[in-house]
Amino acid sequence: MVSLFSRVWKHKLLFVMRLTFSISLFCVLQSFAIGTFSQNARLSINQKNISVESALQLIEDKTDFYFMYSALVVDVRRTVDIEVTNKLVPEILDDIFKGTDIGYKIDGRLIALSKNGEISPPIQQQKSVSGKVTDSSGGPLPGVSVVLKGTTSGTITDSNGNYSLSGIPANATLQFSFVGMKTLEVSVGGKESINVTLTEEAIGLDEVVAVGYGTQRKADLTGAIGVVETKKLREAPTGNFMKALQGQVAGVYVKTDGSPSGAATVRIRGGSTMAGGFNDPLYIIDGIPTTSGIEQLNANDIESMQVLKDASAASIYGSRANNGVILITTKKGKAGVNKIEYSSYYTVQEYAKKLDVLNAYQRGFVNWRAAINDGLTPSSNIYNYQWHREANNVAVLDKILLPEFIDPSQTMRPADTKWIDEVSHPGFLQSQNLTLTNGSEKGTMLLSLNYFNNSGIIKETEYKKYTGRINSDYNFLKGKLKVGENLSFSKINNVEIPIGDVMYLSLVQQPVVPVHSVDSAWGGPAPGMTDRHNPVRLIEDNKQNVSNSARIFGSLYADLEIMKNLNFRSNFGIDYTERYYRKMDYTYASGFLISDISRTTMSQDHNLAWTWSNTLNYKYKKDKHSVELLAGMEAIKAQFVTFYGSREGYVIQDNNYMYLNSGTSKFLNGGGGAANSLLSYFGKLNYSFFDRYLLSATIRRDGSSRFGKENQYGIFPAFSLGWRLSEESFIKNNLSSISNLKLRAGWGKTGNQEINNEAIYSIYKTDTGIDPTWDFDSGTSYDISGSDGGAIPSGFRKIREGNSLLKWEEATQTNLGLDFGLFKQKITGSIDYFKKDTKNILIEPPYLAAKGEGGNQWVNGASLGVKGLELVLGYDTKFDNGIELSLSGSISSYKREITYLPEDVLTGYPGDPANGKSVLGHSDLAQFGYVADGLFQNQAEVDAYAAQPGKAVGRIRYNDIGGLDANGKYVNKPDGVVNALDRTWLGDPNPKFEYGININLAWKGFDCVAFFQGISGSKVYNDYKHLTDFTSIWQGTNFGTRTLDAWSSTNTGSTIPMLTLTDTNNESRYSSYFIENGSYLKLRNLQLGYTIPKRIMDYVKISSARVYIQGQNLFTIKDTKGSDRYTGVDPENPNFAYPIPRTLTLGVNLNF
């Protein structure tokens, strides 16, 4: 044994040194060629009385072969004489073992020695098999892989579904597999023709899914991995396929709006770090990591998508896996398949529901009402009131007279503008997709092109996306070396309309303001109104501002089978985004808002990230053991450069003219850069025993340029175990209805380093000032000479206090899961429980102001705990009448709470830590404020109530919760005063649970999908309410129609405070009045499709065709009762976001 090990060590070392030498070369970016070997190597040896051991070593030294044997079986101390010249290795071996019972078998570079007869049984008689593979409808299935079980040899069906294999053992078993189909095994058993029909399988246990740096059989997974049905992504009429994930994967929460570009916020298991920190998942597209711009990927290109939710699954991506990892593999060509796919859809979008705002008369009326309520003489810059008091002193409005013009310069006649109608129109969306694939045993290729255009429901918004992809691979060395690339290109043109402003302005701009003035200029605010823009002008004056971005995203890879089951893979990826934007600001006069500035700002950003990863992967399977080992390294570098130039003073305001060169004044420019890098090593072991006991372990060590020398590296281990109970005989034999039962348990650690690149450094910068409109000037330049004109000297200001001790933020996650399938997988499901604790959270907390400027410092401060439960259920059946029904649903829930914060930063978060109401134990997003406890109904109530500045009849009563005792200590007992001490926890915007329900029906070519999605228990801060309910908070704006139903002595049932002009009760304060139930249930998707029968399509030489009609967001159910009912339009999308439209889509998918 000793000899064996020493030999192995020595020889392996040589081999390893060769390999690592090569990898080292990689590191310095040298070209690389792995040492070649050849079974045809010829040797000359002349050694007498040499031990067999030495002889074998000699052969290993001179060739790439290596030996494997047991010293108990092979007597290697035996001496032999070898005299050979220019002989092949087998010939030499024949010589050495002549006359012994030792035989050898060459497998790649491995030569195994053993007793004759123990080597694989004598090769049996070989024969040929051929046949045809079809799908359940009888159509031929091209591209099905037909493999001799237990080997890698096999073939692929041709375009007619035919295959042919020769030279196979008679007792062989053939495996037929095709993505999306159940893998079928057929014993050859002497047959020469085997025709099979593959049946579809949504997510089969044998399906191979991508996991970190490799693939795994779904049955063998031990981590919490959500597999996405990518078909659903393709037909979702949206600019971002991640939106279609809403409610589809338990534990994945997607928040969207309706903007054409398809913005979506994705949270896996509630995120892992503090609000404001980096909670986005990491996307790995064909091995290249990215965290942004996911919408630039063409959904049609996606072959598979996996969501690695827990640490044991994600930890192999340790450095950035805290928030989960979404693995995306793009499609490839298939050997033997030559196919053209064309798909297209057209969508009409419309406003689901608009907010009700006052018209011009109503706006005048509520102003009058408020003044009457305040005991004032109603007056207005716009409205002239004719009113009187009746005998009982009740004021009655007789008439509102409008002036001929509402502005002093007499250009705006009073109007009754419905601003929301002026800024919106039906939107139109289309997608055209063409995919060409081709492939042979020598390689495959895929070419795809996509055009997507979405002009949303806000006028002039438009998003155009062109994407192209080339994925190809080439096989060399009899398939042992595979070289390929995945390359995508995207170009996006987006019209930069300031949507948030437009949405807000359509609510607040007064209806009496006309869109245009009488002199064809813009309408706009008149005196007495708030200084807010005409939203139509904002749209019209920005529609020429188109941002252009282009992105190249892809990788080159080489995969070499070093020896059987041992693969080396090198993958070099780039992610290059370039954005060019020319923004033109036109002069305008819009009411009293006037700008005499014509300006062009041209800016450009360059964002380059490259990733280079090298992995060694070894798979071994023998009897009951299956082992997979992976080792690798990865280097990532990201660089960012930006610059801009601007000029003013354009004599013509036209986008053909307004380039920098034409500007005559205010020549300005600016620019900056940033860079960061990561270097990582990782390893993984998967082991399965008896196909039922599964073990997976990963470890990753990551270094980040964002941390100082001492803490540059973090180590992220993970372990997981799985037990496939259903493979145990006590279940197999006794509980046959259980087709799958697996217990999973995992634990792991992941990291986060998403902070400022320069957080470890104390830095100073020159600052020539900012746009002071909304931000505080923080400049360092000063007109010290008092000359007022010409360049002025500048200095430096401190930007940040460095923290050289910064280290990785770490999340530890434990996951317990159960997968089950009943009645031959008719019913499937899984349950996962997780607990995630993030510590050393990187925060840049607010600080004591006395430190002055640049006192901000990143620290490893907070801890956050998230725990949750996820449940997925599915039911598939086929009725006798041919109707196929598939139901699936998921529900997930999590709770997020801060478990630790340094004392001195507690005040940076909600709460009142000085009085025992710190955010600890609450979500960092928790809402904290006053409890609005209805309205004072009469003076007696007011008088009897605690001291509350501004309290009066019709005003909100705030709960008196607590106060200070004689010792100045806070006690939870009303103290007769409503003040800041009475603030308390009001709610949590994190939903209590999220759910989705899919209903799929299919019958004779028809298919129907209904998808419902909802959240429950989310508390929404409805900012809109400041404007829809109050005439006092922003006196100069328009208000919601809710103000018409405000409390009055004759409308005492109302919950809306009495109208007033002055907010003396400070009702704009953060209170439960604005906190509403954000729960909703939406019919996200309803689709009806029809696959046109093949016999019809055959006439037009189309192999398959499907047409469908689809509606999205057809209805929404929200809370409409109770004091916390949602009073806005869409609880999913509160406040001033781009409204989510209702859509109707017509689509077609064709295969040629």
Contacting residue, 152, 171, 195, 409, with another protein by CB under 8 A: 409
Of 275-283, 479-487, 1063-1071, 1103-1111: span binding another protein (CB under 8 A): 1063-1071
Spell 125-144 as b/e; 16+ CB within 10 A means b.
eebebebbbbbeeeebbbbb
Contacting residue, 390, 398, 404, 788, with another protein by CB under 8 A: 788
State which of positions 767-786 bind another protein (CB under 8 A): 768-773, 775-786
List Cβ neighbours of 215 (8 Å cut-off, separation of 6 or more). 208, 209
Q: Which is nearer to another protein, 136 or 664 (CB)?
A: 664
State which of positions 688-707 bind another protein (CB under 8 A): 703-705
- Local structure of residue 122 (DSSP, 8 states): P
Of 334-342, 347-355, 494-502, 797-805: span binding another protein (CB under 8 A): 797-805
Residue 849 found at the interface with another protein (CB under 8 A): yes
User: With contact defined as beta carbons under 8 Å apart, do 850 and 233 qualify?
Assistant: no
State which of positions 664-683 bind another protein (CB under 8 A): 666, 668, 670, 672-679, 681, 683
Residue 531 found at the interface with another protein (CB under 8 A): yes
State which of positions 209-238 bind another protein (CB under 8 A): none
Residue 200 found at the interface with another protein (CB under 8 A): no
Report in angstroms how near the CB of residue 610 gets to another protein at its nearest.
Answer: 12
Residue 649 found at the interface with another protein (CB under 8 A): no
Residue 1032 found at the interface with another protein (CB under 8 A): yes
Contacting residue, 342, 970, 985, 1034, with another protein by CB under 8 A: 1034
Report in angstroms how near the CB of residue 84 gets to another protein at its nearest.
Answer: 26
Report in angstroms how near the CB of residue 1150 gets to another protein at its nearest.
Answer: 48
Strands (E), 441-587: 443-455, 463-476, 481-495, 546-563, 566-585
φ, ψ for residue 309, nearest 5 deg:
-90, -40
Q: Which is nearer to another protein, 712 or 1135 (CB)?
A: 712
Residues contacting another protein: total by CB under 8 A? 144
Report in angstroms how near the CB of residue 244 gets to another protein at its nearest.
Answer: 38
Contacting residue, 851, 878, 973, 1004, with another protein by CB under 8 A: 851
Residue 6 found at the interface with another protein (CB under 8 A): no
> What tokens appear for 206 in the block?
């044998």
Q: How far is CA 103 from the centre of its chain?
A: 56
Binding mask 10-49 for another protein (x = CB under 8 A): --xx-xxx-xxx-xx--xx---------------------
User: With contact defined as beta carbons under 8 Å apart, do 235 and 252 qualify?
Assistant: no
CA 345 – CA 1106 distance, rounded (Å): 12
Contacting residue, 394, 805, 980, 1100, with another protein by CB under 8 A: 980
Residue 401 found at the interface with another protein (CB under 8 A): no
CA 366 – CA 1028 distance, rounded (Å): 12
Residue 635 found at the interface with another protein (CB under 8 A): yes
User: With contact defined as beta carbons under 8 Å apart, do 469 and 487 qualify?
Assistant: yes
CA 838 – CA 860 distance, rounded (Å): 11
For β-strands 196-198 and 126-135, DSSP reports them as parallel
Residue with tokens 């967001």: 1113
Q: Which is nearer to another protein, 635 or 999 (CB)?
A: 635
Residue 4 found at the interface with another protein (CB under 8 A): yes
Report in angstroms how near the CB of residue 630 gets to another protein at its nearest.
Answer: 9
Contacting residue, 447, 483, 550, 629, with another protein by CB under 8 A: 629
Three-state secondary structure call for residue 90: helix
Residue 293 found at the interface with another protein (CB under 8 A): no
Residue 662 found at the interface with another protein (CB under 8 A): no
φ, ψ for residue 988, nearest 5 deg:
-140, 125
State which of positions 49-88 bind another protein (CB under 8 A): 68-70, 72
Of 39-47, 757-765, 993-1001, 1091-1099: span binding another protein (CB under 8 A): 757-765
Spell 50-72 as b/e; 16+ CB within 10 A means b.
bebbbbbbbbbeebbbbbebeee
CA 979 – CA 977 distance, rounded (Å): 6
Q: Which is nearer to another protein, 390 or 775 (CB)?
A: 775
> What tokens appear for 348 in the block?
């009409």
Q: State the DSSP string of 245-304.
A: GTTTSTTEEEEE---TT--EEEEETT-SS-TTS--PPEEEETTEEESS-GGGS-GGGEEE
State which of positions 565-584 bind another protein (CB under 8 A): 566
Report in angstroms how near the CB of residue 78 gets to another protein at its nearest.
Answer: 18
CA 782 – CA 760 distance, rounded (Å): 30
State which of positions 904-943 bind another protein (CB under 8 A): 904, 906-907, 913-914
User: With contact defined as beta carbons under 8 Å apart, do 963 and 902 qualify?
Assistant: no
Contacting residue, 812, 1035, 1041, 1135, with another protein by CB under 8 A: 1035
Residue 101 found at the interface with another protein (CB under 8 A): no
Q: How many CA within 13 A on the CB side of residue 982?
A: 23
Contacting residue, 799, 931, 978, 997, with another protein by CB under 8 A: 799
Contacting residue, 548, 1066, 1103, 1135, with another protein by CB under 8 A: 1066
Residue 391 found at the interface with another protein (CB under 8 A): no
Report in angstroms how near the CB of residue 371 gets to another protein at its nearest.
Answer: 8
Contacting residue, 33, 123, 848, 944, with another protein by CB under 8 A: 848
Report in angstroms how near the CB of residue 771 gets to another protein at its nearest.
Answer: 6
Residue with tokens 């070519």: 1005
CA 877 – CA 184 distance, rounded (Å): 20
Report in angstroms how near the CB of residue 16 gets to another protein at its nearest.
Answer: 4
State which of positions 106-135 bind another protein (CB under 8 A): 112
Burial of 17 from C-beta contacts in 10 A (0-12 / 13-18 / 19+): exposed
Report in angstroms how near the CB of residue 562 gets to another protein at its nearest.
Answer: 10
Residue 796 found at the interface with another protein (CB under 8 A): yes
Q: State the DSSP string of 912-938.
A: BGGGTB-STTS-TT-EEEB-EEEE--S
| C-alpha gyration radius of the chain | 35
